């Protein structure tokens, strides 16, 4: 194996654009000895030029492939746009969707009426408590590992109704 590697290294250095003669002999320690001139007892190697030489490359010819960065989409799945929720204690369950699949290191922030109410967290599901009755807007922000915003959800409007003491029905 060692002798084969030496042979390849030697042949590679000797073979250039034109074909040259290479001779090999075995010394007293049973090692291969290569030469470009014949010696007594040497054998000429038949080396064929296989045109495996690399041509010089200019910077314009090199095409560097940049890693494909996924384009994320964020949406609020629950509550749906213009949904009316009837919840007397003001609890609202918010469920977000991230496409492509949510990956490690990403964080989500939740905004209610343009005020941050949760996050950043590694989960897109939230429970909001004690929300007042009326119209509200929800929005999600997706952040990368360094905290940069990489996607925003569209604003989702929902309406929270509570039973009134005056009119319980």
Residue 79 shares a structural domain with residue 124:
yes
Tens digits of residue pLDDT in 43-61? 887 766 666 666 666 666 5
Tens digits of residue pLDDT in 121-138? 888 899 999 999 999 999
* Domain, as residue range, for 117: 73-161
Residue 68 lies in a domain: no
Residue 31 shares a structural domain with residue 90:
no
Residue 155 shares a structural domain with residue 77:
yes
- Asked which of 9-18, 64-73, 98-107, 119-128 is least confident by mean pLDDT, the reply is 9-18
Residue 145 shares a structural domain with residue 86:
yes
Cα–Cα distance measured from residue 68 to residue 2, given in angstroms and rounded to the nearest whole number: 42
Q: Is the dihedral of CA 121, 123, 129, 135 positive or negative?
A: positive
Please name every residue paired with 116 in a beta bridge, in sequence order, or none if there are none: 111
* Model pLDDT, residue 63: 67
**What is the total count of domains within the chain?**
2
Residue 79 shares a structural domain with residue 155:
yes
Q: Is the dihedral of CA 93, 99, 105, 107 positive or negative?
A: negative
């Amino acid at each position: 194996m060692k002798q084969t590697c030496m042979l390849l290294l030697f042949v590679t250095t000797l073979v250039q654009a034109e074909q040259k003669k290479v001779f090999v002999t075995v010394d007293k320690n049973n090692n291969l000895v290569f030469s470009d001139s014949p010696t007594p007892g040497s054998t000429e190697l038949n080396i064929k030029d296989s045109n495996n030489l690399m041509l010089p490359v200019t910077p314009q010819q090199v095409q560097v492939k940049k890693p494909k960065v996924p384009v994320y989409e964020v949406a609020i799945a629950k509550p749906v746009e213009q949904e009316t929720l009837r919840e007397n204690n003001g609890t609202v369950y918010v469920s977000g969707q991230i496409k492509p699949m949510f990956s490690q290191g990403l964080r989500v922030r939740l905004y209610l009426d343009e005020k941050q109410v949760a996050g950043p967290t590694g989960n897109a599901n939230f429970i909001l408590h004690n929300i007042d009755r009326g119209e509200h807007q929800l929005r999600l922000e997706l952040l990368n590992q360094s905290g940069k915003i990489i996607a925003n959800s569209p604003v989702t409007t929902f309406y929270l109704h509570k039973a009134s003491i005056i009119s319980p029905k």
